Amino acid sequence: MSCKFFVRRLGRRIRTCGTCFWHDESGQDLIEYALIAALIGLAATASVKSYANTVANLFGSLTNSMSNAV
Residue type, 4: K
Whether the pLDDT of residue 63 is over 70: the answer is yes
Whether the pLDDT of residue 70 is over 60: the answer is yes
From residue 21, how far is each of 10, 33, 46 by CA, in Å? 16, 20, 36
Tally of structural domains, the chain: 1
pLDDT tens string 19-62:
666 666 666 778 888 899 999 999 998 888 878 888 889 899 99
Whether the pLDDT of residue 1 is over 60: the answer is no
pLDDT computed for residue 11 by the predictor: 75
Range of the domain at 43: 3-69
Query: What whole-number distance in Å separates Cα of residue 47 and Cα of residue 39?
Result: 12
pTM: 0.44
